Chain A
Amino acid sequence: MNETTRNRLVVLAIVAALLFGYPTFAVFDAFGRCCLAGALPLWIFLAWATVIACTFAIVGGRTGERRRR
């Protein structure tokens, strides 16, 4: 795994930490209370899935990098 990929993963981890934390929460929590019940859990699971998809794209699946090599 090259340095760029590692750096991308570190950045993604930081972004994920922000996605799952304040103030993103405050926004969706408020939305859940005023307009759409369940908006907060829905947001968490969507953000979670997005982070997984991004990780998959970065590390290239099981043999992606090996194949590229």
Chain B
Amino acid sequence: MIAVSVGVATAILYLALLFALASWGDRQADRGQSVIDHPLIYTLSLAVYFTAWTFFGSVGLAQGAGIAFLPIYLGPTIVALLFPVLLARMLRIARAYGITSIADFIAARYGKSSLLGGLVTSVAMIGIVPYVSLQLKAVASSVDALFGPSVSHTLAGWGPDTALLVTLLLALFSILFGTRHIDATEHHQGMVLAIAFESVVKLATFLAVGAFVTWGLYDGIGDLVVRLEAIGRTELLTFAGTGMTYLDWFAHTLLAALAFVALPRQFQVAVIENVDPDHVRTASWLFPLYTLVINVFVLPVAIAGVLSGVSGDMTMVRLPLAEGFPLIAFLAFVGGLSAATAMVIVETIAISTMISNDLVMPVLLRIERLRLARRPDLTGLVLAIRRLSIFGILLAGYAFFHLVAEQFQLVSIGLISFAAVAQFAPLILFALYWREASRAGAVAGLLAGFAIWLYTLVVPAFALAGWLDPQILEAGPFDIALLRPQALFGLEGLAPVTHAVLWSLGTNLVVFVTVSLLSRRSDLERLQGMLYVDVDQAERSTRLWRGETRVAALKELLVRFLGQEATAALFAREERRRGHRLEAGDRADAELVQLAERQLARAIGAASARIVVGSVVRGEVIGPDALLEILDETSQAIEASQRLEQKSRELERLAAELREANERLRQLDQLKDDFIATVSHELRTPLTAIRSFSEILLDNPDLPQEERQRFVEIIVHETERLTRLIDDVLDLSRIESGRMEWQVTECDLRAIVEDAIRRCEGLFREHGIEVTADFGVSRAPVRCDRDRIVQVLLNLFSNAAKFVPAGQGRIHIELRNLGTDYLVRVEDNGPGVPKEMREAIFEKFRQVTSALTDKPRGSGLGLAICREIVQHFRGRIWCEESRLGGAAICFTLLQAAAAAEAEPRRRVA
């Protein structure tokens, strides 16, 4: 057994260590060095969620109900995944509007309503008392378990019990660190550091105790499961062992998720104490990881307790003690103390801020007789209210512990608080995503949900504690069975918490939505709704204040609440930002009024700030007309911006077109250069030959007759080649430039093909080529320039004749009807055209060379001219493999009837 003195000394030393750590953190912060600007610290501060409930209560619950403890941790895990969506938005809003607490967050959204702020604070205050009492009970019970029952009730024989001592110590610590500054948005860096440290302590101690029990007392998890099977208690590892229905499981998960969003202390650490919104991303996976790790040993310890015959919430302490390991039990005590103190400190600081900013100050400021707005310094008053509130909450928790909570399991007490704060969740979520949510709806929904919570959870707790007639649970008030608190309107068969959650949250939601839809929202509510829902846009703009006051009046007001030094620093910063002095007699513009209101909101809350600013600003509330005017101006600006955007897009499109045209011109220029270079080359070759042979003839008059004859023939041949080339170039140039005169008539394509074959008979015979023709039609009327189509055919025939093998050449000509077109196909048994060249041969000066035809023959323009002619008559020309083994050049021409039909359309186009 550990000596009492050692226990007390350790507890005091532990709190002193936290105190020292927090002081150091605050001193560093005063020097401008943030000790909490790290995602790990931020995540550990979020772990304030794990209280004595987790440390002691989960094991106690698991002993009787297996995995029933898990939904309380799965809910926050699911919410943590949504941190970058949900929490990031809340952070933006809190930063933009100087939010100081969850009550302030809700009140500011619904028209900066003092009523709603006060209501949220009251509900939080009442709802959280059982939770605080849970911590006190846990600490007292752990002392009881560790040092013996007599110690917990009367320590050292001087009267106050341990729970009261702990209460007083925690109150002192919370007051020292939570109410140092009046600016509630100023981060409590020391406190956050201490909370993060406590999260490390509770995790480490839980893991140490868990590992010791699992591997020190037993041979691991497998051994525990086998022994559990041996005593026939494996139902603890099944869903049946939880004693829950799936609906209960869902309700507990949902409750935990909503409470995690709405618990004042979670809001405090997650939103108010956040120094860098980027930390939220890390927390979205690190917080669930912490949750998983701290829960890993809950079941093993619970099973070990069952096996050793140790049960109840204090198993973590009693089990090692029973096995003769008091130091391990002491470790568990320290972990539990750590979990409880962290929760109490943060929760009381958060709620005391709410009490001062949203409950007491708005009321005091409205009491004219007090003339608070005219008092020179109010900082002392605000701090005094906060300190008293911390003290009051802890005393209320202590009272609840003695009057009611002693008879309940830790988990049951915690769930009562969860169900109370979960009533804020609809108000928060609608605040973020539903513009039409109204103040009346929020007030009505919250009141309805809270009333049902009181009736379905608190009344039964009081009845079970003997403060109310227990008969009310069985028969209902005035024997009206329909009003039984745990079977409201006959809804039976549900666990009390599930029943209460379904009724309270369901009623809250229905009333909230219905009243919001039916009520009329004030101008300020609409404005605030817009600012919250469209926070991304609102952050950048919106100056919707019309009022008139002087700089001096604002300054005087700020001095009263923030003090001389802070006000002077604020104005100095603002003057630096503006680049000019703010003279006392100057008219304060909307921006300055808003700055003052924001700063005041940080100290006394949005609702109170609005009241005090209103006292010095001859304000003009923005009515619907003014709002419409503003909206009109805004929509005009948006319209102008859209027009500009459209023009910009048009310019971009034109620029792209110009770039494209420029590129085309560049390519054409290149083609022209290539064409000139090629033509010059083609002209030069025959000219060189002609000139050389002419010079030989001129210089050698004595040449033999045969030689002379041969040279003249060469000159004639080269001249003909030159003429052909020039004709081709001219033809192509005329076609491409559109200067070609086309003699279009209706003619018979079959007759044209036959005519062309006849013209080439000599050529075919000369090369020994066997020509066959297959006409699939007796007549093929087309509209074309007969001579040009003959030119195409002659070109194709001479090409074929050029490439077929000498003496064994075969050419096959075919004419077919394709419906709207006629197809002409000229095939040969030459070397053919490689696949990759079949497109290219229709380009200018592109000829195929091969082993058989080592040197290209012809001008290289023939097929290019053919393509231009065929395309002019809306035909198509291409090259494919011939059935004779060589190449097949095919072209189509539109039939006369189809051409006549298409012609008017073409002209219109």
- Do A and B associate with each other? yes
Q: Report A's interface with B, CB cutoff 8 A.
A: 1, 5-6, 9-10, 12-13, 16-17, 20-22, 25-26, 29, 32-33, 37-41, 44-45, 48-49, 51-52, 55-56, 59-62, 65-66
- Beyond A13-B82, A21-B253, A25-B239, whether A56 also contacts B285 by CB under 8 A is yes
Shortest CB distance B37–A (Å)? 13
- Beyond A41-B67, A51-B288, whether A9 also contacts B81 by CB under 8 A is yes
| Residues of the A chain whose Cβ atoms lie less than 8 Å from the Cβ of B81 | 9, 12-13, 16, 51, 55
- Beyond A25-B246, A37-B228, A51-B288, whether A62 also contacts B281 by CB under 8 A is yes
Cβ-defined contact, B85 with A10, below 8 A: yes
> What are 24 sample pairs from A and B whose C-beta atoms fall under 8 A apart?
A5-B84, A6-B85, A9-B85, A13-B82, A16-B77, A16-B78, A17-B253, A20-B253, A22-B246, A25-B239, A25-B246, A29-B240, A32-B238, A37-B237, A38-B221, A41-B66, A44-B70, A48-B292, A51-B288, A52-B292, A55-B284, A55-B285, A55-B288, A62-B281
Cβ-defined contact, A40 with B237, below 8 A: yes
Interface of B: prevailing SS = helix
Taking a contact as CB atoms closer than 8 A, the residue among A21, A32, A44 that contacts B246 in the complex is: A21
- Beyond A37-B229, A41-B299, whether A52 also contacts B285 by CB under 8 A is yes
Shortest CB distance B138–A (Å)? 24
Expressed in whole angstroms, the Cα–Cα distance for A19 and B234 within the complex equals 23
Q: Is B282 part of the contact surface with A, judged by Cβ < 8 Å?
A: yes
Shortest CB distance B124–A (Å)? 26
Taking a contact as CB atoms closer than 8 A, the residue among B39, B238, B282 that contacts A33 in the complex is: B238
Q: Report B's interface with A, CB cutoff 8 A.
A: 39, 66-67, 70, 74, 77-82, 84-85, 88, 221, 225, 228-229, 234, 237-240, 246, 249-250, 253, 278, 281-282, 284-285, 288-289, 292, 296, 299
Cβ-defined contact, B288 with A48, below 8 A: yes
Which residue among B66, B78, B240 has the maximum number of chain A CB atoms within 10 Å of its CB? Answer: B78
Instruction: With CB as the reference atom, state the residue of chain A lying closest to B226.
Output: A37
| Residues of the A chain whose Cβ atoms lie less than 8 Å from the Cβ of B88 | 1
| Residues of the B chain whose Cβ atoms lie less than 8 Å from the Cβ of A55 | 80-81, 284-285, 288
Taking a contact as CB atoms closer than 8 A, the residue among A13, A29, A38, A65 that contacts B281 in the complex is: A65
Instruction: With CB as the reference atom, state the residue of chain B lying closest to A16.
Output: B78
Expressed in whole angstroms, the Cα–Cα distance for A33 and B241 within the complex equals 11
Taking a contact as CB atoms closer than 8 A, the residue among A38, A40, A52, A65 that contacts B225 in the complex is: A38
Expressed in whole angstroms, the Cα–Cα distance for A66 and B282 within the complex equals 12
- Beyond A21-B246, A41-B299, whether A1 also contacts B281 by CB under 8 A is yes
Expressed in whole angstroms, the Cα–Cα distance for A52 and B67 within the complex equals 20
Shortest CB distance A43–B (Å)? 10
Shortest CB distance A61–B (Å)? 7
Shortest CB distance B241–A (Å)? 9
Which residue among B67, B79, B229, B238 has the maximum number of chain A CB atoms within 10 Å of its CB? Answer: B238
- Beyond A37-B229, A41-B67, A52-B289, whether A61 also contacts B237 by CB under 8 A is no
Cβ-defined contact, B284 with A40, below 8 A: no
Cβ-defined contact, B67 with A59, below 8 A: no
Expressed in whole angstroms, the Cα–Cα distance for A65 and B278 within the complex equals 10
